[in-house]
Amino acid sequence: MLTAAIAPGTAMSAPGNRKMGYAIVGLGSYATRQIMPQFANCESARLVALVSGTPAKLERYGAEYGVPRTHLYNYQNFDSIRDNPDIDIVYVVLPVSMHAEYTIRAASAGKHVLCEKPMAMSSAECEAMIAACRQAGKRLMIGYRCHFEPHNRLAIELARAKFVGPTRQITAAHGFNISAGQWRLDRTMSGGGSLMDIGIYSLNAARYLTGEEPTEVVALESTDGDDPRFRTVEDRIDFTLRFPSGVIASCVSSYSSGHNDYRVIGTNGWIAMEPATPYSGHVMHVRKDGVTERRELPPPVKNQFVAQLDHLPECVSAGNEPIVPGEEGLRDLRIIEAIYRSARERRAVTLVSA
């Protein structure tokens, strides 16, 4: 869970004031449009290598970012990154089915790993990834960017401090109308439908806003079997989480309707985010004692992407664990598996703490 062990954005120098080098594995739109441009603003991280199965992408982005040809890799020669001392960290930005393989191979090559969410296809794969990094003596961090976003961090602070009274209920909804033809709609590559892709934001938000782990889940799936987009994956899942304190979280995950919001409801008001987890443009309102106000935050020193990229090098330098380690991804996958089981078996499923 999110902790205050290291405040995201806290500047710490890499050994010898050297920025640590990242190799980006997978040059899809998220990597090229959201992640790679952010290195220009990092204090502790730099882009030094690229990995792709598409030569044209390696040529294009290598030239754009000044990556030498000696630092351009494909999936066949990926393991030779062990011989490149410029690479300290591998950022796995691939379809979910490839996360475990490339995390384990990166650790075996002696590199720290930042892996996108969802962490893997199953909790068993997550456990194997954690074990591989631990055996190699390398850090493993999962790409939960919202843990580094100022509005979300403020929402966590206010909720856990009982600013609107003790939390009684949380609602969280994430979804969009997905276009056909995406790898996310192929279960062999994604591991599931909306829950694995966008519903994980609702799930993770419920956990980080409470600071607790749920004890029970009840879920209901709604998928149009005649819609060709959903031949192998689910569309919508509504799920309810029960937490030890008595908080109930009602969550939505959808591939056919637009949602991006959550609300923490306390005894004296509520804290609302809409949109809650976009790449930019977050909006927060707080209602307390009958008065509703919009919370405006100053521009951050580091946005969520920069803070995330800098965090892992800073943890490595300081000898600390990331605030979102592999265990965070494992917890979400175990709950996701329970949500699928509840929807499939049409019953409540008890969650066992590990």
Catalytic residues: 117, 201
Give 33-50 pLDDT, tens digit per residue. Answer: 999 999 999 999 999 999
Contact 242, 213 (CB under 8 A): no
The whole-model pTM stands at: 0.94
- Specify the 3-state DSSP secondary structure of 308: helix
Give 91-129 pLDDT, tens digit per residue. Answer: 999 999 999 999 999 999 999 999 999 999 999 999 999
CA 109 from chain center: how many Å?
24
One-letter amino acid of 165: G
Q: Which residues have C-beta within 8 Å of that of residue 237, sequence separation ≥ 6? A: 194, 195, 199, 219, 220, 221, 222, 252, 253, 254, 339, 343
The full set of domains in the chain, from first to last, is 15-145+305-323 (3.40.50.720), 150-298+333-350 (3.30.360.10)
Contact 287, 269 (CB under 8 A): yes
Give 219-256 pLDDT, tens digit per residue. Answer: 999 999 999 999 999 999 999 999 999 999 999 999 99
Nearest 5°: the CA angle 105, 109, 115 is: 50
- In 3D space, the residue among 257, 254, 252 whose CA is nearest the CA of residue 235 turns out to be 254
DSSP per residue, 171-194:
EEEEE--PPTT-GGG-HHHHSSSH
Residue 354 confidence (pLDDT): 60
